Chains A and B, each alone.
Chain A
Amino acid sequence: AQKITQTQPGMFVQEKEAVTLDCTYDTSDPSYGLFWYKQPSSGEMIFLIYQGSYDQQNATEGRYSLNFQKARKSANLVISASQLGDSAMYFCAMREVDSSYKLIFGSGTRLLVRP
């Protein structure tokens, strides 16, 4: 069964607007971590933000925030004030504590920021 689902293969957003990238996950492990990575056209995966399953507050890193809804098993990435440089592939990933450090990735969402 797919453990990380990103249902939006591609999205557009206008520059300076906010955008939400969806991610749902499936696990029976009570302890897990959720990650978002950005992959620009250069190919390198850039770590953006982390949310632990026991964290009480939603994670934030600059313009990135993670809308964590544990009961719904969703971990959506919110990018505020989009910039042209935000155009990239975005991947959601999960690590289950019992899984020997393995990350499971979703299939990604391609975001294009329009000027």
Chain B
Amino acid sequence: DVKVTQSSRYLVKRTGEKVFLECVQDMDHENMFWYRQDPGLGLRLIYFSYDVKMKEKGDIPEGYSVSREKKERFSLILESASTNQTSMYLCASSLGQLVDTQYFGPGTRLTVL
């Protein structure tokens, strides 16, 4: 079974703090993704990576950066957290084939005060 883990289920931070969200997958997947989920908006792609040290912006990259130093690990960084970044953050990975099913972690619910 594919296993995608995220470092925290719940996180509370203050405005202006630097925040790291970690994601690890154990299936040697090529692709990794970060989404945020807000009520009524579904999931929106923040960034994705198709290889180590490679990254591409998704639909809403502003205010975020990412790091992929190792194949199994993909980090989402909020350089200076703001209250409008309060959300559920979901990490996913996929093999990188034509069908390319994405498998998700349990999510991190981030609250920025």
* Chain A positions near chain B (C-beta within 8 angstroms): 4, 9, 33, 35, 37, 42-47, 50, 52, 91, 93, 95, 97, 100-103, 105-108
Contact A47 B103 (CB under 8 A): yes
Partner of A102, one of B42, B58, B101: B58
The residue on A at minimum CB distance from B31 is A101
Q: How far is the CA of A14 from the CA of B24 in the complex (A)?
A: 39
Assuming A43-B107, A45-B107, what are 18 further A-B pairs, CB within 8 angstroms? A33-B98, A33-B100, A42-B106, A43-B9, A43-B106, A44-B105, A44-B107, A45-B90, A47-B104, A50-B101, A91-B43, A101-B31, A101-B48, A101-B94, A105-B43, A106-B42, A107-B41, A107-B42
Contact B104 A44 (CB under 8 A): yes
- Chain B residues closer than 8 Å to A44, beta-carbon distance: 104-107
Category for how many chain B residues contact A: 20 to 34
Partner of A105, one of B9, B42, B103: B42
Listed residue (B9, B92, B104) with the most chain A CB atoms within 10 angstroms of its CB: B104
Q: Is B78 an interface residue, CB under 8 A from the partner?
A: no
Listed residue (A35, A37, A97, A101) with the most chain B CB atoms within 10 angstroms of its CB: A101
Q: Is B45 an interface residue, CB under 8 A from the partner?
A: yes
Q: Is B77 an interface residue, CB under 8 A from the partner?
A: no
Partner of B100, one of A42, A101, A105, A108: A101
Give a binary string over B37-68; 1 marks a CB under 8 Å from any A CB, 0 the rest.
00011111100101000001010000000000
- Chain B residues closer than 8 Å to A91, beta-carbon distance: 42-43
Q: Is B88 an interface residue, CB under 8 A from the partner?
A: yes
Shortest distance between the CB of B111 and any CB in chain A (Å): 14
Q: Is B16 an interface residue, CB under 8 A from the partner?
A: no
